[in-house]
Structure 1
Amino acid sequence: MAAPVKKRDFEKRSKELDNDGDGSSSSNEDDSQDVINEQGMEIQVDFEGRNPQDPDFHGIKTLLTQLFLKAHVDLGSLTDLIITQNYVGSVVKQSEDLEESDDEESNANDVFGITTVVNISDRQNVPCIQQLRELLKQLASEHATDQANAMVKNLLENDSAPLGLLINERFVNIPPQISVPLLENLISEMRRSCSKKMPFDFAYYVLICKLYKIDETKTQTKKSKQKNTEDPNIIWSNPEEEIFAEEASVSFEFSVQKESDSGLSGQWNESDSEMIPFRRVIIFEASKLLSIISKIKSQLS
C-alpha cells in the first residue's frame, strides 16, 4: 500500500526550468545567480520534495532514461518499483502555489529530480533487478580494473554484503544544494524502514554518475599553441557527485558518446571544445554516506 505524500520544502531559487524531456538545459550559470529565460523574464521557482506517486511515472522514467540511455534495463519496471517503495526516496517538484497556472495539470506532473535507493541484492526474481545486476557485471568486465571488477563480481555473487543502487538524478539546471535535504531525508527514511524490518540496511552503495570531458582529439592543436599540458577538464552533471567519487572504494568510467546523450545543450561557438559524455560507476561503503553529505553541505554552501 502506497504511503501518504510527504512534502519537503526547499529554498526558493531563481532558475530557468527548460524541461524539454531529455534532461537538457540552455543554462550553465552559477547557482547563486539569477537566470533569465529566452523571453528575458526571471522565473521564481519553489521546489519541494515529495514521495513518488503514480502520476510521477513519466517524469521519473524520463530522468532514468537520461542516466541509463540505451542500456538494457526495463526502466518502466524500475520506475514502477521506485513508486511502489515510495516510503523511501523523493521526487523534486514545483511547490503547489506555483502550479496554479494555465498549465496547472502539466506542471503538477513535472518531475525535476529523483533521489532514492533500490536494493539490487534483494528481489533478484524481479526482471529489472536482474538486468541491473547483469549491466553492472558487464560494464565492470569491459571497463574496470581487475580490482574493481573483482569487487563488483563479489558484491553481486556474494549477497552477504547488501548493495544499494543510489539514484541521484535531476535536470542540469537544478542547483546542487538541493541534494543535501534530499539525501538527508533518504537516510531518515531508510532508518525508519530498517526499524520495520524492510531491506534498506546496506553495506555498500553503487552510484552511476554523469560527467563530460573535453574531446582531446579536437583540441590538440589548440593545446600545443597554448602550451597547456594540463589534464582535460571534467564537468560533473551533478557537482556533488565528485565528492562521492572521492570516497569511492572502486570506480570505473566509460564513454556514452555513441548513445547520443544530450545532457548538456545550449548555444555553442565553433571555437568551443566538444564535450564527450561519460558515465562513472562508483562503489562506496554505506558507512561513509553521512560524512559525504556533510562534505557536500560544507563545500556547496
Structure 2
Amino acid sequence: MGKKRSREVDGQGDVSMADPAVDKKNEDGSDDDEDMDIVNVDFELFNYDPQIDFHGVKTLLRQLLDADAQLFDLSALSDLIIEQNTIGSTCKVDDKANDAYAFLTVLNLQVHRDKKPVAQLIEYLAERAKTDENLGAVVPELLASGKHVGLVLAERLLNMPVEVIPPMWTCLIDEIEAAVEDKEPYEFSHYLVVSRTYREVESSLDQAERKQKKAREEAELQYFHPEDEEMRKHAVASGTYEYTREGESVADSKRAFQEMGIKPCGLMMLIEAGKFPRAVQATAEYVGSAT
C-alpha cells in the first residue's frame, strides 16, 4: 500500500486501496457464487483542494452533525477544513476531481476559537457534554481552559468499506508529526473525536403509547462506524448526547422497512495526546481483525 504525499501543496495523493467486495455476474448471466468475477475498486487519499472539495466536505459534515447540522455555519466550517490542505485527507474513487466519499481532519480549537464556525462548535460541544456524566466532568472545563485541543472530524458514506479508515488515520498521525516539526500549531494536549451512534427503538407507528425512556435504557448502543467502539477504549472520557433539534418522529423517518426505528445520537471521545497514536494503531488492528 502506498502512502499519501502528505505535505505536498498540490494535494495529489497516491494511497491506493482495492476493495474486493464488488462482484459482477458471469458473462453467461448466472449468479453462481463459485464462478463470480471480482471487480476491484481503488480508493485513493488526497489532500484537500479548494477548487474541488467544498461541496463534498459540506455534505459529509451535514451527515456527521446529523439533526443539529442546521445549528452551524457549515460553509465556513468546510472552508476552514479545506484551507488546512496538508492536514487530513479526502478519500475518493477514480479521480481527484470527484467528490469525497470520506474525509478526516483535525482543528486546533484554541487557535481558531475566534472564528465563527469553531466558536459555534466549542459552545455546542461544551453544552452537549454537560448532559453526560463522564463528559461533563472533563470536557466543558477543558474547552474553556485555553489548552490546545484537537477537534477530530471524520465521516464517510455509510456504504464505504471500513478498510479505508486505517490509512486515513495513519496519514493524519504522520501529518501532525510533520506539522509539529515545522512549528505549526498542531501540538495538542488532547484530541476530542466527534462521531455518531444510534439505538434501536420501537416506532410510534407500531406502538402509540410506547415507553420511550425504558426503550432508550434497554436498547444497546450501536455504532455507525465500528472502529469507534475500539477507539473509545482509549479515551479518558467518552459518552453520548442527544441532538437538540431531533424530534420524536425521527425513529419513524429513519426506519426504512424495519420493525424497529433508529434513534441517532452524538458521540464524543476525549483522548490524551500521548495515547492518541496507540489508539489509532489499535483501531487499525481492530479493523483488520474484523474483516
Q: Is the structural similarity TM-score above 0.5?
A: yes
Q: Which amino acid aligns with 2:14?
A: R
Q: Which amino acid aligns with 2:194?
A: I
Q: How does 1:176-191 map to 2 (within 5 A)?
A: 176-191=162-177
Q: Distance in 2 between matches of 1:63 and 1:296?
A: 21
Q: Which residue does 2:61 correspond to in 1?
A: 64
Q: Which residue does 1:253 correspond to in 2?
A: 240
Q: Which residue does 2:182 correspond to in 1?
A: 196
Residue 136 (structure 1) aligned to one of 116, 125, 146: 125
| Aligned-pair CA distance for 1:265 | 6.7
Q: Distance in 1 between matches of 2:48 and 2:153?
A: 13
Q: Which amino acid aligns with 2:170?
A: E
| Aligned-pair CA distance for 1:109 | 2.7
- Identity among equivalent pairs (%): 28
Q: Which residue does 1:82 correspond to in 2?
A: 81
- Decide whether aligned partners of structure 1 residues 266 and 285 sit closer, same or farther in structure 2, where only a CA change above 3 A counts: same
| Aligned-pair CA distance for 1:118 | 0.6
- The structure that is strand-richer by fraction is 2
Q: Which amino acid aligns with 2:105?
A: T
Q: Could you list the runs of 5+ residues in structure 2 that have no partner in the other structure?
A: 1-7, 26-30, 32-36, 208-216
Q: Could you list the runs of 5+ residues in structure 1 that have no partner in the other structure?
A: 15-32, 100-107, 221-229
Q: Distance in 1 between matches of 2:123 and 2:254?
A: 31
| Aligned-pair CA distance for 1:243 | 1.2
Q: Distance in 1 between matches of 2:23 and 2:59?
A: 24
Q: How does 1:155-194 map to 2 (within 5 A)?
A: 155-159=142-146, 161-194=147-180
Q: What CA deviation, in whole Å up to 9, does each residue of 1:155-200 have, x standing for no partner?
A: 11211x3111111210111111211110110111111111111111
Q: Distance in 2 between matches of 1:90 and 1:155?
A: 27
Q: Which residue does 1:274 correspond to in 2?
A: 261
Confirm whether residue 125 of structure 1 aligns to residue 104 of structure 2.
Answer: no
Q: Distance in 1 between matches of 2:89 and 2:153?
A: 10
Q: What CA deviation, in whole Å up to 9, does each residue of 1:87-125 have, x standing for no partner?
A: 1110011133xx8xxxxxxxx332100011011111222
Q: Distance in 2 between matches of 1:64 and 1:120?
A: 17
Count of residue correspondences: 255
| Aligned-pair CA distance for 1:278 | 1.4
TM-score, normalization by structure 1: 0.76
Q: Distance in 1 between matches of 2:254 and 2:161?
A: 17
C-alpha contact 2:88 2:106 (8 A) present in aligned 1: yes
- The secondary structure found in structure 2 opposite 1:197 is coil
CA RMSD of aligned residues (A): 3.0
C-alpha contact 2:193 2:269 (8 A) present in aligned 1: yes
Q: Which residue does 1:212 correspond to in 2?
A: 198
TM-score, normalization by structure 2: 0.78
Higher relative contact order (CA 8 A, sep 6+): 1
- The secondary structure found in structure 2 opposite 1:6 is coil
Q: What CA deviation, in whole Å up to 9, does each residue of 1:62-82 have, x standing for no partner?
A: 000111133422111111111
Q: Which amino acid aligns with 2:161?
A: P
